[in-house]
Amino acid sequence: GAGVSQSPSNKVTEKGKDVELRCDPISGHTALYWYRQSLGQGLEFLIYFQGNSAPDKSGLPSDRFSAERTGGSVSTLTIQRTQQEDSAVYLCASSLNSGVEQYFGPGTRLTVT
């Protein structure tokens, strides 16, 4: 079956612009996670969804970052007023009803110039 998909694959944006990153989880997976992978910070958790609600937003680095999930499926991570330090690979993962194993998408590489 289809895996986790993310779009766009790469995004270049100017400092100060807003960006939206999309994640399509595996069909039927109720849990969805966003992570960020950067040279300086390694792999870090951002936010977790169970269905459409986000019980854990503890990893969002600032109020410029937000995420939503609709219909228990697609999720969008929005970064407002992007900064150069936001440059990173943003990874999405999903799992079955808080199942143990998380399945990752290919990521979106965000470059802020």
Partner 1 sequence: AQTVTQSQPEMSVQEAETVTLSCTYDTSESDYYLFWYKQPPSRQMILVIRQEAYKQQNATENRFSVNFQKAAKSFSLKISDSQLGDAAMYFCAYRSPNFGNEKLTFGTGTRLTIIP
Using CB under 8 A, list all residues that contact partner 1: 31, 33, 35, 42-45, 48, 50, 55-56, 59, 89, 91, 93, 95, 98, 100-107, 109
Nearer to partner 1, 3 or 16 (CB): 3
Is 31 within 8 Å of 94 (Cβ atoms)?
yes
Minimum CB separation from partner 1 for residue 16, in Å? 26
Minimum CB separation from partner 1 for residue 13, in Å? 19
Q: Where are the beta strands (DSSP E) in the chain?
A: 5-7, 10-13, 19-24, 31-38, 42-50, 53-56, 65-69, 75-79, 88-95, 103-104, 108-112
Minimum CB separation from partner 1 for residue 103, in Å? 8
Is 91 within 8 Å of 107 (Cβ atoms)?
yes
Minimum CB separation from partner 1 for residue 10, in Å? 10
Nearer to partner 1, 4 or 19 (CB): 4
Nearer to partner 1, 14 or 40 (CB): 40
Give the contacts of 13 (CB within 8 A, at least 6 positions apart).
Answer: 19, 82, 110, 111, 112, 113
